[in-house]
């Protein structure tokens, strides 16, 4: 059963500067995310990943097409959708003078829930930082806290936008553990990443975006089988990174 | 409602925890108040006059001057008085006539003064008028004539009106403006830049509830801070609040809401922290000088005074001053109500027109 259903979704923005040109950032894409899976969205910078997520999360309005989350139309009932999802944003900061427990409790009231901050902090192994401010957390701790904060409303779908960018290998693997842990509790997880090993290690299915379109969507194994370059002599081999570079080209993006 | 209250309380908690900002927001107006409050602009009203004592000079004039409560006489040798004149201890010096006054002839009284700067020269001419009055009185008593006109002073104002009465309401209006503009505009730009706003709006939080909590929290902090300032002013400087305290508080709230809306408009127009500081100062500084918050603006040309009177801060300062010093009622303050309402409408219009929850569209 699909919990997120994206149908012919389109978003256009005026191009930067005053050229008057209109960019189609998301170009009539369609895909479904099944309940209980970890779904990865990959793509070079500027491919339209974040915009797609922002539309699903109800932050940005679509110019065309529709998005349903748990059967609710995001355009008609953004508040209903927001009640059911948890979101961790890229590079989000929090209020300076509230500690972790207070932030969790405050965000809980935004969903009209009274929550137990300790339980959530324990889940992300930050119980000892309950009375610390976020500015005193390390990069990995901050990301784990962001995940805890995204869980205050016990969401059906958890969105993680580049959750491990900028983390050291230990912190990354630690966060992977956490994501698997949350997945094991029956949550559907949607994540974007630039790390192919991360997508390969975590995701049940992967959509690869390029210039506002989805150019491939399958399980990591199937993507490798279909797209990985033929080795010269032996049987087909390669990693998901090879697949990514073959599909999106090696040109450097910003 | 629950959400608004929780958010308001959370923001109040953050505000009181930011000790540095809290300290500065109280310290600056207190410093101004104490600096201006202890400055004595009117002086004690006496004129310091030096009198050169020479051998055999007649002292009738000297005695008359010494009896005048408005004149403080310093006597000394020619050198001493010259030195006092140069140091500014006396505003002018008199050379006494050699002979006793004679009603039949006019006697010269030489006056020396220091014209090294314009202010001293002006002071000296004013002092001459005071001395002339004193000498006229002496002349009348010697000639036995009655004055043709006898001025009878009657106190019109029933209480003393001092500079502090002027300063305190203006200072309160100024602090109110600063707290409101920085509290809305500056804050919102920071929240926007840090991604806090975006994070808040992936929750079901309604923007209106968030804005309401922000306004409520600012109104509470502004009322508390102004009450504290007014309390200190009353305690240390005999500042008065003649009018209705509720009306006074009402104008503080009304003015704060106006400046909050202007702040939100500026926060919408400015996209970076630096820009909001520059734009904010562009709005704050001219009003600080032109809206007569610290000093009366009598010296500016008429057209500028007209513009000054139309600035948002002028209306707030004027209303607070009239209530505090004249006990004005709401009915007397309708021009200020209209002025504040118009600026509130302008602020709201610009805020709605330019305000964005997140930074410019991102790909």
Q: Which residues of chain B have pLDDT under 70?
A: 38-45, 152-161, 298-299, 357-363
A26 has which bridge partners? Answer: A11
pLDDT in the model for residue B92:
85
Is B29 within the bounds of a domain? yes
Q: What is the mean pLDDT of residues A191-214?
A: 92
pLDDT in the model for residue B158:
47
Structure-token pair, residue A205: 């299915």
B356 touches chain A (CB under 8 A): no
pLDDT in the model for residue B363:
30
Is B151 within the bounds of a domain? no
With CB atoms and an 8 Å threshold, state whether A13 touches B13.
no
Of the partner residues A13, A93, A111, the one whose CB lies closest to the CB of residue B195 = A93
Does residue B124 share a domain with residue B173?
Answer: no
Residue A31 zone, left/alpha/beta (φ > 0; ψ -120 to 50; rest): beta
Q: Could you give the ipTM of this predicted complex?
A: 0.85
Instruction: Kindly report, residue by residue over B116-150, the tens digit of the pLDDT.
Output: 777 777 777 778 888 888 888 888 888 878 777 77
SS3 A203: coil
Does residue B189 share a domain with residue B167?
Answer: yes
Q: What is the mean pLDDT of residues A212-226?
A: 90
Is A195 within the bounds of a domain? yes
Is B66 within the bounds of a domain? yes
A13 touches chain B (CB under 8 A): yes
SS3 B54: coil
Closest chain B CA to residue A14: B361
- Chain A positions touching B363 (Cβ under 8 A) are 13, 23, 25, 46, 48, 51
pLDDT in the model for residue A93:
86
pLDDT in the model for residue B279:
86
Cα angle B157, B162, B167 (rounded to 5 degrees) comes to: 125
State how many domains chain A has: 1
Farthest-apart Cα atoms in chain B, separation: 101
Q: pLDDT exceeding 70 applies to what percent of chain A?
A: 96
pTM of the model: 0.74
Closest chain A CA to residue B210: A110
Does residue B189 share a domain with residue B123?
Answer: no
Alpha helix stretches (DSSP H) within chain B? 2-17, 19-38, 60-67, 78-87, 118-143, 163-181, 187-193, 196-200, 207-237, 245-269, 273-290, 302-310, 312-321, 334-354
pLDDT in the model for residue B156:
53
State how many domains chain B has: 2
Does residue B219 share a domain with residue B176?
Answer: yes
Of the partner residues A51, A89, A107, the one whose CB lies closest to the CB of residue B363 = A51
Is A99 within the bounds of a domain? yes
| Residue A211 neighbours by CB under 8 Å, 6+ apart | A27, A47, A48
Q: Identify the domain containing residue B60 by its residue range.
A: 47-143
3-state secondary structure labels for all residues of A67-101: EEECCEECCCCHHHHHHHEEEECCCCCCCCCCEHH
Closest chain B CA to residue A88: B199
Is A254 within the bounds of a domain? no
SS3 A54: helix
Across all residues in chain A, what is the average pLDDT? 89
With CB atoms and an 8 Å threshold, state whether A89 touches B195.
yes
Does residue B170 share a domain with residue B30?
Answer: yes
Is A97 within the bounds of a domain? yes
Structure-token pair, residue A42: 């990959």
Alpha helix stretches (DSSP H) within chain A? 49-56, 78-84, 100-110, 117-123, 139-150, 169-184, 196-202, 220-227, 240-248
Q: CATH number of the domain at A195, please.
A: 3.40.50.300
Q: Identify the domain containing residue A57 by its residue range.
A: 2-248
Is B97 within the bounds of a domain? yes
Q: Looking at CA atoms only, how far is residue B117 from chain A in angstroms?
A: 55
B19 touches chain A (CB under 8 A): no
Is A218 within the bounds of a domain? yes
* Count of A-B CB contacts under 8 Å: 74
Does residue B181 share a domain with residue B132?
Answer: no
Exposure string for B152-181, b = 16+ CB within 10 A, e = fewer: eeeeeeeeeebbbbbbbbbbbbbbbbbbbb
Does residue B186 share a domain with residue B91?
Answer: no
Which of B93, B108, B143 is the C-terminal boundary of a domain?
B143
- Chain B positions touching A102 (Cβ under 8 A) are 10, 13
| Pick from B38, B55, B130: nearest CA to B91 | B130
Q: What is the mean pLDDT of residues A194-209?
A: 92
Closest chain B CA to residue A112: B3
- Chain B positions touching A48 (Cβ under 8 A) are 363
Q: pLDDT band for position A132 (50/70/90)?
A: very high
Does residue B223 share a domain with residue B342?
Answer: yes
With CB atoms and an 8 Å threshold, state whether A95 touches B203.
no
Instruction: Kindly report, residue by residue over B214-264, the tens digit of the pLDDT.
Output: 899 999 999 999 999 999 888 888 788 888 999 999 999 999 999 999 998
Does residue B202 share a domain with residue B134?
Answer: no
With CB atoms and an 8 Å threshold, state whether B7 touches A97.
no
Tokens 């000054």 belong to B308
């Amino acid at each position: 059963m699909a919990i997120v259903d994206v149908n012919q979704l389109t978003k256009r923005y005026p191009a930067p500067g005053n050229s008057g040109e209109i960019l189609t950032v998301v170009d009539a894409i369609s895909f479904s995310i099944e309940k209980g899976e970890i779904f990865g969205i990959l793509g070079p910078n500027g491919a339209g990943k974040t915009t797609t997520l922002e539309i699903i999360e109800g932050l940005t309005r679509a110019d065309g097409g529709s998005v349903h989350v748990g059967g609710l139309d995001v355009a008609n009932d953004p508040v209903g959708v927001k009640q059911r999802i948890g979101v961790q944003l890229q590079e989000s900061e929090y209020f300076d003078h509230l500690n972790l427990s207070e932030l969790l409790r405050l965000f809980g009231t935004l969903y009209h829930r009274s929550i137990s901050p300790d339980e959530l902090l324990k889940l992300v192994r930050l119980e000892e930082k309950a009375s610390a401010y976020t500015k005193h957390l390390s990069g990995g701790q901050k990301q784990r806290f962001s995940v805890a904060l995204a869980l205050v409303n016990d969401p059906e779908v958890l969105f993680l936008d580049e959750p491990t960018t900028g983390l050291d290998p230990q912190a990354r693997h630690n966060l992977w553990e956490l994501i698997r842990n949350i997945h094991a509790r029956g949550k559907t997880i949607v994540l974007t990443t630039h790390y192919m090993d991360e997508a390969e290690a975590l995701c049940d299915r992967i959509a690869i975006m390029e210039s506002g379109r989805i150019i491939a969507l399958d399980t990591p194994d199937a993507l490798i089988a279909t797209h990985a370059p033929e080795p010269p002599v032996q049987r087909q081999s390669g990693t998901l990174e090879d697949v990514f570079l073959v599909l999106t080209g090696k040109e450097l993006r910003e | 409602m629950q959400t608004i209250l929780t958010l308001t309380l959370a923001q109040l908690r953050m505000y009181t925890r930011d000790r540095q900002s809290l300290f500065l927001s109280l310290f600056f107006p207190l410093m101004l108040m104490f600096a201006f409050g202890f400055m004595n602009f009117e002086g004690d009203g006496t004129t310091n006059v030096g009198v050169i004592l020479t051998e055999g000079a007649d002292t009738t004039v000297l005695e008359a001057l010494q009896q005048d409560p408005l004149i403080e006489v310093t006597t000394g040798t020619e050198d001493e008085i010259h030195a006092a004149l140069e140091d500014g201890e006396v505003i002018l010096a008199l050379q006494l006539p050699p002979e006793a006054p004679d009603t039949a002839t006019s006697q010269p009284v030489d006056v020396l003064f220091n014209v090294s700067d314009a202010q001293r020269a002006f002071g000296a001419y004013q002092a001459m008028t005071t001395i002339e009055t004193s000498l006229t009185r002496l002349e009348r008593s010697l000639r036995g004539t009655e004055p043709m006109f006898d001025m009878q002073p009657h106190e019109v104002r029933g209480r003393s009106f001092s500079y502090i009465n002027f300063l305190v309401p203006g200072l309160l209006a100024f602090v109110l403006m600063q707290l409101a503009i920085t509290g809305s505009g500056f804050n919102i730009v920071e929240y926007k830049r840090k991604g806090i706003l975006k994070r808040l709006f992936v929750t079901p939080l309604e923007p209106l509830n968030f804005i309401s909590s922000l306004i409520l929290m600012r109104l509470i902090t502004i009322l508390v801070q102004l009450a504290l300032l007014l309390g200190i002013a009353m305690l240390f400087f005999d500042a008065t609040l003649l009018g209705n305290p509720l009306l006074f508080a009402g104008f503080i709230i009304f003015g704060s809401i106006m400046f909050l809306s202007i702040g939100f408009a500026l926060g919408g127009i400015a996209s970076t922290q630096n820009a909001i500081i520059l734009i904010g100062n562009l709005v704050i500084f001219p009003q600080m000088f032109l809206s007569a918050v610290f000093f009366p603006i009598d010296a500016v040309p008429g057209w500028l005074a007209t513009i000054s009177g139309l600035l948002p801060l002028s209306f707030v300062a004027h209303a607070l001053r009239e209530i505090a010093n004249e006990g004005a009622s709401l009915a007397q303050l309708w021009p200020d109500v209209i002025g504040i309402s118009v600026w509130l409408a302008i602020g709201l219009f610009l805020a709605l027109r330019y305000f964005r929850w997140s930074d410019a569209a991102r790909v």
